[in-house]
Amino acid sequence: MRWRRELTVALADADDGALSVLEYRYVRRVERPHGLPAATRQARVRQRTGNKYLDNLYEQYGVCVELDGAVAHPEDEQWRDKRRDNANLFSDIVTLRFGFPELGDHRCESAAYVATILRRRGWAGTARPCHRPACRIAGATS
């Protein structure tokens, strides 16, 4: 079957909770290539207003990475995201928000942000540069 390997990888990521192109890109371009720990995808958290689902939750460290595309997060509905971010802070969860640019040309910078916040909150790991020649994540997270 043509594209069997690529489809198998994509389906495995979907099985782990990467349900959109942005979520897939986060896993494949930011998290894994830079040696970040694996987040829980579509993590259910109980908030005062009911259950909410967070795109990527590093629960042990109180860090959430939300991924916003134009279709699922139109400008006139972004107030919901802001309220959820405020509720996260109330629960001591820091939220980082990324869109297509941050998962494309700026993926290494995004990984550096995530690694820095994780380290500040107790992650003992070390981020590593990805295969891109311009990746400078190691110096950005020390």
CB-CB contact of 19 with 114 (8 Å): no
Residues 99, 103, 108, CA angle at the centre, nearest 5°?
130
SS3 (DSSP) at 133: coil
Q: Percent of the chain at pLDDT above 90?
A: 47
Q: Cβ neighbours of residue 104 under 8 Å, at least 6 residues apart?
A: 25, 29
φ, ψ (nearest 5 deg) of residue 15 = -65, -30
Decide if pLDDT at 12 tops 70.
Answer: no
Tokens 């494309």 correspond to: 104
Nearest residue to 52 (alpha-carbon basis) of 66, 31, 39: 66
Q: Is the pTM of this model over 0.75?
A: yes
- Quote the mean pLDDT of the chain: 81
Sheet containing 50-58: order of strands: 40-47, 50-58, 63-67, 94-98
Q: How far apart are CA 14 and CA 21, in angstroms?
A: 10
Give me the residue spans of the domains in the chain. Answer: 4-140
Q: Which two tokens stand for residue 63?
A: 């860090």
pLDDT, residue 52, reads 81
Q: Which of 12-21, 93-102, 115-124 has the lowest mean pLDDT?
A: 12-21
Q: What is the mean pLDDT of residues 31-58?
A: 87
φ, ψ (nearest 5 deg) of residue 43 = -75, 130
